Structure 1
Amino acid sequence: MTFVAVPTAARERALGPDLARGFMLLFIALANSHYFLVAHGYFGGYPYGGGTVDGVVAWLITTFVDGRSFPMFGLLFGYGVAQIVRRQGDAPRRTVRRLLWRRALVLIVVGFLHATLLYAGDILTAYGVLLLVGAWMVHWRGRWLLLVAGAMLVLIALPSADSLATSVLGPDPSALPRTWADIVGRAEVSAFVATLGPIGFLAPFAVGLWAGRRRILERPEQHLALLRTVAAVGIVVAVLAAQPVALVHLDVLPLPDASTRNVIGPLHDVSGLLGGLGYAAIVTLIGRRVPRGRVVEAIRATGQRSMTCYLTQSVVWTVAFTPALLDLSDDLSVLGVALLAVATWVFTVLLAHRIQRSGSRGPFETLVRRVTYGPTSHVR
């Protein structure tokens, strides 16, 4: 019997996951933008000693965004993979793996080009590599998925010299859009991120697979107690555990020494994973109550076109911070880049809504579907 793989039609998509993806892109813009700033001293990826206003903005982003947005991305990525697998019904496992590997391949190729030409901090390549392995995980029992997530959580929480050790040195110059002569170096950075990135994303990905099987974000009315608990516990823990790092920006705490950074860095990271889960839960709960007006539909459209909107952010960073273009790295403050990030997200929301009204998908979503499902998938 011949099996024909098909994607999920837009009209069949649940609100919760798409709304969460749309909001997530705001957090990703805020998390990425401050790394382009140039200053004399840094902590946690921010210029240090920039004044009260910049300190408050850095505190807010460190507390609520940094290390919290990408775990949410990982959860939603795993959730989406579970949806894809469920959509294939009784297809042979080998067929499902090949479908997922095709999807992984396009993520790796697009992500590598993105990292090489625009932004070396790309995460698409890492997710593509993760999916190569994740294609074998999609049929694991739920307890094994949670066990893997728990083990990775413990591993991330261990004292580490890598988490905040380099944050006092400022942003990695390779992450900045540079001249064409840096392409080889940026390609090497992309390969490095693709190699290590999947390790950090494995825990939320596994939880996303587990949650996606149970359709928790699609059918929140059946999982209200779980969602409320995850939202409350995850966000509260993330906020409190961020303070040893965040309060440094307010000058409430002094700059930590190396041994202290080795502890508070992993604490910030592991609590961020819980915070990412909490954000996904609370956005889903809010989505049950909020009227579906233009704003909600626009954010939902952004979530449905998250790859296009994510790549669009990098175009903005390239124009804003490339030395040969606007070269704003020396000119903007932490507040300035935060406002630029918000404006960029609003632009992508308007762009996604415009694309939706035209009746088409985003260009990169169309590309992924055609590679994954075949040339006729765009009609769904």
Structure 2
Amino acid sequence: MYVQADDYLPLGYPTEGGLLDRAVAGVVTVMGDTRGYPMFAALFGYGVAQIHRRQQAAGREWHDIRRLLRQRGRWLVVFGGCHAVLLYSGDILAAYGLIALLFAGMLRFRDRSLLVAAGVLCLISTTLFSLIAASAGMDGGASTVVSTTENPLRDALNRATGWPGSTLMLVFISVGPFLLGVWAARRRVLEEPGRHQRFLRNTAAIGIGAAIAGGLPLALITSLVWTDPSQATLGLAGVLHMAGGVGGGLGYAALIGLLAVRVGEQRGPLVTALSACGQRSMTCYLLQSVAWLGLFAPYTLNLGRHLGVAGTVLVGVIVWACSVLIADVLRRKNRRGPAETALRRLTYGPSRERSPVQKAS
């Protein structure tokens, strides 16, 4: 993941670009790359723990709850496989589905056991993943982001063959944050952020600070400030970057809780739209993949041929903003996202459908 290839820098950044592209590459390396995966894994764990708690409150036994969670996990794997083959090789849905299938039993762990397991898994996965990737001579992630074939069928085949390995890798690096999310859900940290402001402030400050500190060495390389690092240096920078990513992901999740405290009940149009996007996150995620394939694949508009890093990031922001607008339109029509509706029906059956104004499971 962190080794340079002829045409790409670590994390898949191109070796060519102007000053603005290089600056954006550095900023995104520090603040964005590998920071989203831990955040969403923690939020996924939080959501799974909420389902567990609600099912317990409804009087269901553990074996029934486990069956429900595994049923949901199986369908997430199916959704993820279709997503990877048809749209995007870096799918995360299947990884979360496998986590639900393989690690549902850890929902019954005691708090201390959860935290110990999470810490050990984060440490092992961060170190091993970074070192293995550095020694394997990978292309810095370019193969998972940049398609080079103009044949859509071959492109789909490439995604399909790479999907199992990338899914297992994501499971490996996501279980630790997932368990931390379960622990946080037991304390209702994000549901009652006002009671946990000190914890959220500390988590945000330490986590985001760790992301910045850990990401700086690799950012110097992706921004071409540091142009000739050794293989050992790349490996160490990768370890620091991955470790900072775990902290950054948790810090961003904590920052969301702090913003919820600040906003309170006085939500304006922007916060309402962002909340609608969060409630339809799976639909928005898939929509963004559709847009990305349509805009950047060599056999579609192929914008990547004309845009540098800065232009690509700008397009990404616009695509994300469009998904927020679509989610808000669905909210105004009092409708769930189609992906959420399909997953819920497949998991619970049509008789368990609820209004989208209620909190989604």
**TM-score higher than 0.5 here?**
yes
Shift of residue 371 of structure 1? 1.6
Choose the corresponding residue for 1:69, options 18, 30, 36: 36
1:360 matched to 2:360? no
Q: Distance in 2 between matches of 1:192 and 1:356?
A: 36
Instruction: Give structure 1 stretches of 5+ with no counterpart.
Output: 1-37
Tell me which of the two structures has the higher relative contact order, counting C-alpha pairs closer than 8 angstroms and 6 or more residues apart. 1
Match for residue 54 of structure 1 among 13, 21, 25: 21
1:59-138 matched pairs, under 5 angstroms: 59-88=26-55, 89=57, 90-138=59-107
**2: CA distance between counterparts of 1:261 and 1:249?**
11
Classify 1:212/1:322 alpha carbon distance in 2 versus 1 (closer, same or farther; 3 Å): same
Q: Does the CA contact (< 8 Å) of 2:90 and 2:144 recur in 1?
A: no
Q: Is it true that 1:347 corresponds to 2:322 in the alignment?
A: yes
Matches within 5 A, 1:138-217: 138-158=107-127, 160-164=130-134, 166=137, 171-172=142-143, 176=147, 179-217=152-190
Distance change >3 Å, CA 53–CA 292, structure 1 → 2: same
Is this contact kept in 2: 1:112–1:190, CA < 8 A?
yes
1:301 alignment counterpart:
276
Q: What TM-score, normalized to structure 1?
A: 0.86
Deviation per CA, 1:26-51: give whole Å up to 9, x if none: xxxxxxxxxxxx99342332112412
Task: Supply the AA of the counterpart residue of 2:323.
Answer: T
Contact 1:63 1:242 in 2 (8 A): yes
Flag the 1:254–1:39 CA change in 2: closer, same or farther, 3 A: closer
Residue equivalent to 1:34: none
In 1, Cα distance between the equivalents of 2:295 and 2:54?
Answer: 41
Q: Distance in 2 between matches of 1:351 and 1:173?
A: 27
Does the CA-based 8 Å contact 2:211-2:244 persist in structure 1? yes
TM-score, normalised to structure 2, is 0.90
- Amino acid of the residue matched to residue 258 of structure 1? Q
Note if contact 2:12-2:142 (Cα within 8 Å) is conserved in structure 1.
yes
AA aligned opposite 2:84: A
Q: Which runs of 5+ in 2 are unaligned?
A: 356-361
Counterpart residue number, 1:9: none
Cα deviations by residue, 1:295-346 (Å, 9 ceiling, x for unpaired):
0000000000000000001101111122221112221110111001000010
In 2 relative to 1, CA 63–167 (structure 1 residues): closer, same or farther, beyond 3 Å?
farther
Measured against aligned partners, the alpha-carbon deviations of 1:83-108 in whole angstroms (never above 9, x if no partner) come to 10111123111000111011101110
Distance 1:255 1:223 in 2: 45
Alignment-mate amino acid for residue 251 of structure 2:
G
Counterpart in 1 of 2:10?
Answer: 43
Give the Cα separation in 2 of the matches to 1:110 and 1:67. Answer: 22
Query: For 2:257, what is the secondary structure of its paired residue?
Result: helix
CA distance in 1, matches of 2:111, 2:125: 21
Q: Does residue 1:313 correspond to 2:283, yes or no? A: no
Stretch moving more, 147-156 or 78-87: 147-156
Q: 1:66 to 1:146 in 2, by over 3 A?
A: same
User: Are 1:81 and 1:209, in contact at CA under 8 Å, matched by a contact in 2?
Assistant: yes
Q: How far did residue 158 of structure 1 move?
A: 2.7
The one-letter amino acid of 2:284's match is: C
1:327 and 1:230, CA in 2 relative to 1: closer, same or farther beyond 3 A?
same
Shift of 1:73: 0.4
- For the 8 Å contact 2:12–2:145, the answer to whether it is kept is no
Shift of 1:170: 5.9
Give the structure 2 partner of residue 18 of structure 1.
Answer: none
**Correspondences of 1:264-343 after superposition (within 5 Å):** 264-290=237-263, 291-343=266-318
Q: CA RMSD in A?
A: 2.0
Distance (Å, rounded) in 2 between the aligned partners of 1:114 and 1:135: 23
Decide whether aligned partners of structure 1 residues 249 and 199 sit closer, same or farther in structure 2, where only a CA change above 3 A counts: closer
Q: What percent of counterpart residues are identical?
A: 41
Q: CA deviation at 1:114?
A: 0.5
* Counterpart Cα distance in 2 of 1:345 and 1:52: 25
Contact 2:89–2:144 at 8 Å: present in 1 too? Answer: no
Give CA-to-partner distance per residue, 1:34-73, whole Å, 9 cap, x none. Answer: xxxx993423321124121001101110111111111100
